[in-house]
Amino acid sequence: MRRQLSVVLAEDAALLREGLVGILERAGHEVVAAVSDAEALLAYVARELPDVVVTDIRMPPTHTDEGLRAAARIRAEHPGIAVMVLSAYVAEAYVPELLDSAPHGGVGYLLKDRVGHVREFLESLDRVAAGETVVDPQVVRQLLGRRRDDGPLARLTEREREVLALMAEGRTNGSIAQELVVSEAAVRKHVGNIFIKLRLDAGSDRRVSAVLAYLRG
Amino acid sequence: MTRTPDAWAALRAHPWRYLGSRWPWGALAYLLTTVPIGIVMLVVLLGILFVGALTAVVVVGLVVLAGIPVLAGVLGVLERARLRLVQGAPASGMSLRERLRAGRRLPVSWPEVGYAFLVAVVLWPLDALVVLAVFVSVTLILAPLLATVDTFVMLGWEVEPGPEAWLAAAIAVPALPLAAYVVGVLAVAQAALARQLLSPRDAELAQAVADLRRSRVDLVDAFETERRRIERDLHDGVQQRLVALTMTLGSAELDVPEGPGLNLVRQAHRQAEEALEELRTTVRGIHPRVLADHGLAAAVHEIADRSLVPVTVEIRLDERLPAPVETAAYFVVSEALTNVARHSGARRAQVHGWRRAGSFILAVVDDGQGGAVVDRASGSGLAGLAVRLDALGGDLRVTSPTGGPTEVRMEAPCAGN
């Protein structure tokens, strides 16, 4: 039932790279290249045109945000290729950069520990490959904990914020309904209200835009 | 009447003010005391040179000769104190006690030795001459009185009581203010010479201060480098291994059939994740990645987001701060907000950061109950940061009146960056 994906992987720590290759191949995906720096990543992506790119943020030579910049470039040059960025820690500062590179979804930002939850990780990968935006629940929780007195989110009710937070995690309406123990119709109503309050027009992918608005605060 | 700060200023002032001030007396005392000091120096120096030269062949003499700088040093201490008679303040320098404690490590101060010889050979005879002149003038003024008591002979002149004695006094009267000026000028010149030779040279002091400052900055830098190394080691080593472990355990969860075995694997997975989380917290406390990658504003936003007390952050920076300042500022915010959450009872807090005239200023303010103090002796928390900022040429101040609000404010120079 799961679509087999071709994946280019970039991760400089050999241990994690091998682990990731193992997990991806177990799930039936094809790892066409596993590299250790951003330059090789860009080269392989241009040659192989994979379905998904999985990349660490920090890589040689400067160990800062090479992976992130490579991801943005890949999104710009090949909008059809989904990108999953892995981070070793919650760093809100990286989120806007990443989302700015992908106004139409197809990106993910996960903490590396999430990879350990193999099933969840593979599901997230599938969703990103299908064009959704997936942000690590822990990152979302952290952003949720932030209180803002101004900005568009102030217009939302507590419940609507909850729904939006779950949307940001990439949940479907059904899954959100389950989590909040309400009917799916109720969730749809909340989602509609969120779109209205955030003044999102019907033209764009409103679900993604709402999440972006949420994550930017 | 305003007081003149030293004899030189008095000499240049109106004559009446000089003559009426304490400075002529100070100058006279200075010259007068130079005489016995100079004689003692002469005798002792001659003694040392004589004995030293005689015994130089048997090495002991060299030790004896080495006494000269010590003697010069002792004289230096005395002379610096004596400058007060003419200059209003003693010259700075090491006290006798400090000098003795410094012992052999102190290099020979050749200006001091030179001054010792100067006092012993030139200055005291000169001073004695001038003092004698003053003594003669005073005696002549008293001639009418003295001549009536006894036969009065001065410089081979046998003064008769009566008109002759009055003549002697009349000659001497204008000589007195003249003598006061001669005494003053001589004393001022001599004191200036002494200060020149005995004061530690400013350039040397400035150099010493610069060296000290640089070594402190080096220490902070070394400390910082070490922190980064530890952070990198933990991040690239232990943390990666733990992540790999959770990945393996996660894969195992898919393979192991439902039952006690799977439960144990899940438990192991959970424990590995807890260890990872603890490690992550530790790494953040050592040197946060986001600070290195994205700078102070991003890193402070991150702390603010983790804070239980709502925090507004406003940091205006066009470009990155120098690394030591950035790190210090980060930990000031981190520490201050931790304190806010733990002790203050505040409902909200603000972090402001801005540049002003070559400095970076950062303030963390809360609306709590106040009463916070920086315990410098403990060396922990804010106190440690105060020391670090001090080394960077900045400072850290905590104002926290009882009842609040509390402000933690740091300032650090960051010119040219």
Half-sphere exposure of A122 (CA within 13 A, CB side): 21
Neighbour order of strands in the sheet with A30-35: A30-35, A6-10, A52-56, A82-87, A107-111, A133-135
Question: Is the distance from CB of A204 to CB of A133 less than 8 angstroms?
Answer: no
Can you give the pLDDT at residue B364? 93
- pLDDT-derived band at B332 (thresholds 50, 70, 90) equals very high
Pick the residue with more confidence: B149 or A175? A175
What gap in Å lies between CA B319 and CA B95, rounded to an integer?
A: 49
> In this structure, are residues A40 and A60 in contact, taking their beta carbons and an 8 Å threshold?
no
pLDDT at B1: 42
Residue of B nearest to A24 (CA): B251
Q: Which two tokens stand for residue B243?
A: 């992540």
Distances (CA, A) of A24 to A28, A86, B252, B305: 7, 14, 14, 33
Contact A118 B272 (CB under 8 A): no
Q: Which of B312, B302, B365, B376 minimizes the C-alpha distance to B339? A: B365
Q: Is pLDDT at A215 greater than 70 in this prediction?
A: no
Amino acid at A1: M
pLDDT in tens, B376-393: 655 567 888 888 888 888
Q: Which helix (H) or strand (E) holds B362?
A: strand B359-366
**pTM of the full structure:** 0.55
Q: How far is B338 from chain A (nearest CA, A)?
A: 16
B190 touches chain A (CB under 8 A): no
Biggest CA-to-CA distance, chain B: 138
Name the residue among A88, A79, A82, A32 with its Cα closest to residue A59: A88
In this structure, the number of other CB atoms found within 10 A of the CB of residue A101 comes to 18
pLDDT exceeds 70 at position B278: yes
Q: What is the mean pLDDT of chain A?
A: 82
Model confidence band, residue B361 (pLDDT cutoffs 50, 70, 90): very high
Which of B239, B284, B290 is closest, CB to CB, to A93? B290
**Does the pLDDT value for residue A62 go beyond 70?**
yes
Contacts 24+ apart (CB under 8 A), B9-12: B10/B184, B11/B181, B11/B184, B11/B185, B11/B188
Taking an 8 Å cut-off on Cβ atoms, the answer to whether A15 and B298 are in contact is: no
Shortest distance between the Cα of A16 and any Cα of chain B, in A, equals 6
Residue B91 confidence (pLDDT): 66
* B125: Cβ contacts below 8 Å, ≥ 6 apart: B38
Taking an 8 Å cut-off on Cβ atoms, the answer to whether B284 and A15 are in contact is no
Binning pLDDT at 50, 70 and 90, where does residue B168 land?
confident
Q: So what's the pLDDT on residue A69?
A: 85
Residue B216: predicted pLDDT: 81
The whole-angstrom separation of Cα A79 and Cα A171 is: 23
Tokens standing for residue B417 = 């960056």
More confident residue, B278 or B378: B278
Q: What are the angstrom distances between the C-alpha of B396 and each of B210, B310, B336, B372? A: 22, 23, 11, 13
Indicate whether B270 pLDDT > 80.
yes
Checking if the pLDDT of B355 tops 80, the result is yes
Q: How close does chain A come to B336, measured CA to CA in Å?
A: 18
Least confident of B98-112, B205-219, B242-256: B98-112
Mean pLDDT to the nearest integer, A177-205: 82
Nearest CA-CA partner of A89 in B227, B313, B243:
B243
A1 pLDDT band (50/70/90 cuts)?
very low
pLDDT band (50, 70, 90) for residue B99: low
Mean pLDDT of all residues in B141-152: 71
B45 vs A142, higher pLDDT: B45
> In this predicted structure, what is the pLDDT of residue B102?
55
**Does A64 sit within 8 Å of B244, measured CB to CB?**
no
Residue B88 has pLDDT above 60, yes or no: yes
Residue percentage of chain B with pLDDT more than 70: 87
> A89–B280: do the CB atoms touch at under 8 Å?
yes
